Amino acid sequence: MKTNLTTLLAVLILFQACNQAAKNTESTASEASTATDNLCMGHYWTEEEAKEKLKEFAATYDDQASWEKRAKRIRQGILDGLQWDKMPEVNNDFDLIVTKTMEMDGYIIENVALESFPGFYITGNIYRPTNAKAKNPAILTAHGHWEDRRFMEEVQKRCAYLARAGAIVFMYDMIGYGESKQTTHKMPLALLLQTWNSKRVLDYLLTREDVDPDRIGMTGASGGGTQTFVLTAIDDRIKVSVPAVQVSAHFFGGCVCESGMPIHKSNDHQTNNVEVAALTAPRPLLLISDGDDWTKNVPKVEYPYIRNIYKLYGIEDKVESAHFPDEVHDYGANKRVPMYRFFGKHLGLNVPEGPINEDFIKVLPKEELSVLAGTELPEGALKGDEAVIAYLGF
């Protein structure tokens, strides 16, 4: 769809409202206008404005109970902004499609597809330990806005390392990326669909008999960081969260898949991604940041704000920050080390205290990790933005 975002969102709301007899033309137009007015996208505030906003937010609570009241409103604001209640009812009788299995050095890779809702599929890879235990931790890994990100070296390395360390890891495509081509990426429901897909990956992992439901983690960088803190905020089944190079007081995400629906603002509340990430409390949270993007202020702005919330619970030791002032916007080797150690500490992975060695990992070509090479999705798969939107009834 080439129509601009504002028009698309208004059209969706208008279409939905027109099917409700109680809505008249005037109220419908007002609803569409409100939805678009409440969008907080990209560099919505300056850095200084964001600091002042955090002060305003902090003035609304002074203990655990008052924070949890605010947290409840923020969480509901995310769900309302996503229109979460309009997603179809689904069951957890998953029929995992496995198109290839590869034995590696201490871990196994499976190329898989999973039905998220009828006719809409998640494509990805499951990395699991060769010598898995009866119950193992599981980690969702999401990627950001780099083409074919699921196949890139740094993604393969983090998944393989975590698997060899003892985790069952599910790495999946963002919509419109990799092999997830049933919709375009910048379709107006991208934020909803990606969050829903993450939720369905979590649903699937928790159906596995070899997964320990009390040891579930999630990580991702950039747009994958957004996916991480959004799902963690609304789903307490995520027990440990590691968003990388994304949590910012002034930057709300530059893509419709991060801020294209009104999850930060409504007629009676305003928040930002710092507080969304803070909804992780009291669960363990690690922030990874660098000096070359919108996370450059994390040590002085975002991390202290979140740490103060953990202090209300008396568990400051459960939130950590790993800042790399001389590095750029990526999930490179140095940034992966604190993530490995944090998951090792909180999920019980086999991560050594000494140097981290990834040399055992064989980086595979894209073709080896492809789910759909030479095959197609099952009959009945939805095709195109309009087909998906129509099926969901928006």
| Mean pLDDT, rounded, for 213-237 | 98
Local confidence band at 239 (pLDDT 50, 70, 90 cut-offs): very high
Per-residue model confidence (pLDDT) at position 24:
40
The percent of residues in the chain predicted with pLDDT above 90, rounded, is: 88
Distances (CA, A) of 155 to 143, 191, 336, 364: 8, 22, 10, 11
pLDDT score of 33:
52
Q: Name the nearest CA neighbour of 252 among 61, 50, 36, 6.
A: 50
Token readout for 241 is: 């969260």
| Within a domain: 272 | yes
Per-residue confidence (pLDDT) for residue 2, from 0 to 100: 40
Query: Exposure of 365 by Cβ count < 10 A (0-12 exposed, 13-18 middle, 19+ buried)?
Result: exposed
Strand, coil or helix: 32:
helix
SS (H, E, C) 70-131: HHHHHHHHHHHHHCHHHCCCCCCCCCCEEEEEEECCCEEEEEEEEEEECCEEEEEEEEEECC
Cβ atoms 249, 302 nearer than 8 A = yes
Average pLDDT, the chain: 92
Residues 164, 365, 155, 222: what is their CA dihedral angle, to the nearest 10 degrees? -170
Alpha carbon distance 244, 234 (integer Å): 18
Whether residue 5 is predicted with pLDDT greater than 50 in this model: the reply is no
DSSP code at position 149: G
10 Å CB burial of residue 291 (0-12, 13-18, 19+) is middle
pLDDT at 146: 75
Residue 28 maps to a domain: no
Max distance between CA atoms of the chain, in angstroms, equals 66
Residue 215 lies in a domain: yes
**CATH number of the CATH domain containing 157:** 3.40.50.1820
Residue 163 lies in a domain: yes
Element (H, E) at 352: none
Domain limits for position 317: 97-369
In a domain, 1, yes or no: no
Residue 48: inside a domain: no
Local confidence band at 367 (pLDDT 50, 70, 90 cut-offs): very high
Q: Do the beta carbons of residue 143 and residue 106 sit within 8 Å?
A: no
Packing angle of the helix pair 302-312, 47-58 (nearest 10 deg):
10
CA atoms within 13 A on the CB side of 344: 16
Q: How many domains, in total, are found in the chain? A: 1
| Tokens, residue 8 | 């698309």
At 373 the pLDDT is 87
Query: Does a structural domain hold residue 70?
Result: no
Instruction: Between 275 and 6, name the one with better pLDDT.
Output: 275
Residue 45 lies in a domain: no
For 202, the 3-state DSSP assignment is helix
169: Cα separation from own chain's centroid:
15
Digit-coded pLDDT (tens) for 101-119? 999 999 999 999 999 999 9
